[in-house]
Amino acid sequence: MFRFEKLEVYQKSIYLANYIYEISDKWPKEYSFNLTDQLRRAVISISLNIAEGYGRSSKEFKRFLEIARGSCFECVPVVELAFRRGLLDASEKQDLYQKLDEIARMLSSLKSKV
């Protein structure tokens, strides 16, 4: 196991990515190359930036954590649009918002501790 895999924020980001894959697998194929792809790339970017940044200097790791946090925010408009298109119900949207907010806060906290 790599050290970054022990970080709770990393574990939560992997869980969230898997959750989004499960949800978006059910979406109509017409959304595959826009909403589905965009949301999947943004959510996987969270864990990728944590992992890549972990092996860098403290200054660089902080920057990668900022990028990961930005990827959380990038997910928000896609989730909102998916909700408006009827791909998510209100409880799924709220659940995703809460998970994204929690991860964004954890990333900010981790950045301040590095």
pLDDT along the chain (114 residues), means of 10: 96 98 95 93 98 97 98 98 97 98 98 97
Cα 24 from chain centroid?
A: 14
Please state, in angstroms and rounded to a whole number, the distance separating the CA atoms of residues 60 and 84: 37
Please state, in angstroms and rounded to a whole number, the distance separating the CA atoms of residues 18 and 5: 15
Domain ranges of the chain: 76-114
pLDDT of residue 33: 86
Taking the model in full, what pTM does it have? 0.95
The Cα angle at residue 73 between residues 67 and 76, in degrees rounded to 5: 150
pLDDT of residue 68: 98
Please state, in angstroms and rounded to a whole number, the distance separating the CA atoms of residues 56 and 105: 21
Please state, in angstroms and rounded to a whole number, the distance separating the CA atoms of residues 13 and 8: 9
